[in-house]
Structure 1
Amino acid sequence: MNNNVHIEAARAALARAAWVYGQAPAYGQEAVSDLLADLRHFCAVTGLDFAACHVASDRYFIEETGGAS
């Protein structure tokens, strides 16, 4: 899977979150931070370990990009 697919998935998640809040889509740092906080709330309610998910996401990013930002 190329990085464009990952970027479009993230863009879609940000747009959907904005839609749920009744806002126009936003793709800046605040929108990303809000989505991460929402995911943290989701993890807390469903019993998922957010910290473990975060560590895994770092590993996935490195595997998918070779560590390039």
Structure 2
Amino acid sequence: MPNPDLLPSLLFKINENQLALEAAILELSKWVEQRGSAEVANNVRDVLDTCDRNEGFIKITLALLMAPD
């Protein structure tokens, strides 16, 4: 049987990866915009807004999962 205590830690690490990827993609969108593709950069930032909207829920849920009983 899987260890249920590992699930919160796993989800936390996945969330860390997601935030790191979001930051990297945002940097790339800035680079693209500086080279004249403002429309592409705006499209990327629009999609990244989904990550921003979900971040609060993810953090609260992880805090609840990781809280001691």
In which range does the TM-score fall when normalised by the shorter chain? 0.3 to 0.5
Between structure 1 and structure 2, the one with the greater Rg is: 2
Q: TM-score, normalised by structure 2?
A: 0.39
Tell me which protein shows more helix as a share of its residues. Answer: 2
- Greater RCO (CA < 8 Å, at least 6 residues apart): 2
Q: TM-score, normalised by structure 1?
A: 0.39
